[in-house]
Amino acid sequence: MSPIISCLPQTNMEGLIHISILLSVAYSTCGSNVSLSIAFTSVTTDNLTNSIRFYTEILGGMLAPEFMFRYSGNQHHNMMFQKEILQARQSKVAPAVFGVPDISDNGTYEVVGAFVFFDNAVIQLLQFESKRYPGAIFNVTDRRSSPAVVPNDHMCILVKPSLNLNTYVHALETRARQLGFNSVKANRPVTVHSEAERQNVPVQNYTLPIGAADTHWQWAYLKGPSGEQIELNKLVGDYALEIGKEYCKRKAVSTLFLDKPHPDNEWKVHAGLTGQTYGLFQHGTRARSMLGSTEFYTEILGGSVGNIGGVGWNGDENQNMLFQKEMLQAEGLHVDYQSLGIANVTSSGNMSFAIRWSYFNNYVVETVEYDTGRNYSYPKFNPTFNLSTPALINNMRITFLLPESVDMNSYLRDVEQRSAARGFPQVKGNRAVDVDTLGQQVPLEDYSVIFNEGALQGLRYSYLKGPSGEQVSFVQFTGPSSEKLKNALLRYNAVSTAFPETNPWNRGGYDEYCSQFPPLEE
């Protein structure tokens, strides 16, 4: 048994080992010959200004003013909302019923947004704003904020390993409260029955470690300013080594593994203690089937599966850390937990969850599944959002970056064809033109949309739904947008495989660190 496997929760260890072996065999090769990085994680906000403040003033990101954007038009309307528009048409109701703001040529809304840069990642913040009444937004929500609801995504921020994560969470909550973000509250891994009890939990009990003190993975869960799900991770010892080995194998980039300590920039310094991060570690997606989603992200999109993951995770500490906000909400509303999409993974409960990581060139896609028993052979627990729209407040979307050398439209067509061939017929992209059925064949140029002017000039993008209905998109930065992206990455001193100038592998930045791992067999 590897040291990483032995550090995972001790529930159902037989199933944990089995699934690790199963996946290492099933995903030993990738179906895609394009090595992808994650361009950004998107968050739909209810207040763009406040979200920018949170991710810059508290988390130490850098706003790139040159990328502040607003747009609308028929092509964008189709590309962002075609699945929902077709659903509305079939149901003979207005698209707004399915959470679609009208951003068409003659519509009443437009997309407004910004990019915030971190060490190895970008967060795109966007909202759907009224053209006639600036500041008025298209506000569609689902009261179920539980991370067990399909396809509720989350992002994971990597805190520097030199920090005490309990102290960091306390500082983040304090700083958020000082700046008026009163809803930014982290769950505690201990049982509480009121907000007053949550506040009185000792600081040393704010986070949840897995494994021994010198080799653990430590984490915490909280909601961002628009209710988006955020995870905080601290990785040390064997966990960090196992993950670092996968980064070295893939030639992925993270400031955590650089040979020389990565210096703080002015944005991190300005944010203080809460700016002491190393960017993003993962984009989590709530999957109907962990095995199926992992196959999609590896065999179709070319991710690499490492050794960390498993099934049968449960326990009271996990229950509290994952669902405390929602449990307090349920108690306040006097409703049962499952009506809010809360799983019962307590020690005395009948459920568990499973996770698996797929590595890309800068961070990880985590697929998460909830089971009605203690391993993946049981039926799934899959409460689902009523709406699939990307306009849903706190919706998250993962966006993959395609190199300029790739014909994006052909790539998108091939993703759909490969998905269908491997048993994912639901993976169909929106089109830039009106169609009668989702995924309808159209001329290749209509598989994506390119900005010909404005702040995003040269950026090409496309939308589709992943195997669990999660939002997935692809972008390609060309022309002016490519140059602006490179300059912003350099300004923040970020690491990225997008450009030779931003890739530490081109200057031997990981040579010493990666030399501790045996070379790959040819």
**Is the pLDDT confidence value at 18 over 60?**
no
- The pTM assigned to this predicted structure is 0.94
**Is the pLDDT confidence value at 467 over 60?**
yes
Tell me the mean pLDDT in the region 412-418: 97
Contact 11, 313 (CB under 8 A): yes
pLDDT number for residue 520: 58
Tell me the mean pLDDT in the region 401-420: 97
Closest by CA position to 364, among listed 108, 158, 58, 107: 158
Report d(CA 218, CA 236) in Å as an integer: 9
Tell me the mean pLDDT in the region 464-483: 97
Share of the chain above pLDDT 90, in %: 88
pLDDT number for residue 306: 83
Share of the chain above pLDDT 70, in %: 93
Tell me the mean pLDDT in the region 261-281: 97
Tell me the mean pLDDT in the region 397-426: 97
57-103 tens-digit pLDDT: 999 999 999 999 999 999 999 999 999 999 999 999 999 999 999 99
If one compares 212 and 427, the residue with the highest pLDDT of the two is 427
184-193, 306-315, 424-433: segment of lowest average pLDDT: 306-315
pLDDT number for residue 8: 35
Residue 32 pLDDT grade (very low, low, confident, very high; cuts 50, 70, 90): low
**Look-up of token digits 């937004």:** 137
- Enumerate residues 6+ apart whose C-beta is below 8 A from 500: 506
pLDDT number for residue 213: 65
pLDDT number for residue 13: 29
Average pLDDT in the chain: 92
Q: What is the DSSP letter of 186?
A: B
Residue 29 pLDDT grade (very low, low, confident, very high; cuts 50, 70, 90): very low
Tell me the mean pLDDT in the region 193-203: 96
**Is the pLDDT confidence value at 19 over 90?**
no
Report d(CA 170, CA 156) in Å as an integer: 17
Report d(CA 494, CA 39) in Å as an integer: 13
**Is the pLDDT confidence value at 2 over 80?**
no
Give, for 50, the enclosing helix (H) or strand (E).
helix 48-53
Domain ranges within the chain, ordered by starting residue: 3-26+34-130+144-511
- Token readout for 144 is 């179920």
Tell me the mean pLDDT in the region 488-507: 98
Tell me the mean pLDDT in the region 295-301: 97
If one compares 9 and 119, the residue with the highest pLDDT of the two is 119
- Token readout for 197 is 């009890």
Tell me the mean pLDDT in the region 461-466: 97
- Buried b / exposed e over 396-429, threshold 16 CB at 10 Å, is bbbbbbbeeeeebbebbbebbebbeebebeebbb
CA 321 vs CA 153, 172, 396: distances in Å: 16, 17, 20
Residue 33 pLDDT grade (very low, low, confident, very high; cuts 50, 70, 90): confident
Tell me the mean pLDDT in the region 214-224: 88
User: What type of residue is 187?
Assistant: N
Residue 522 pLDDT grade (very low, low, confident, very high; cuts 50, 70, 90): very low
147-191 tens-digit pLDDT: 999 999 999 999 999 999 999 999 999 999 999 999 999 999 999
Residue 473 pLDDT grade (very low, low, confident, very high; cuts 50, 70, 90): very high
Residue 24 pLDDT grade (very low, low, confident, very high; cuts 50, 70, 90): very low
If one compares 22 and 477, the residue with the highest pLDDT of the two is 477
- Please name the residue ranges forming H helices in 424-499: 479-492
Report d(CA 239, CA 5) in Å as an integer: 10
Q: DSSP assignment of 74-141, as one string?
A: HHHHHHHHHHHHHHHHHHTS-GGGGT----STT-SEEEEEEEEE-SS-EEEEEEEEESSSTT-B--B-
Residue 214 pLDDT grade (very low, low, confident, very high; cuts 50, 70, 90): low
Residue 21 pLDDT grade (very low, low, confident, very high; cuts 50, 70, 90): very low
**Look-up of token digits 């090769």:** 29
**Is the pLDDT confidence value at 26 over 70?**
no
- Buried b / exposed e over 470-482, threshold 16 CB at 10 Å, is bbbbbbbbbebbb
pLDDT number for residue 263: 95
Report d(CA 356, CA 305) in Å as an integer: 8
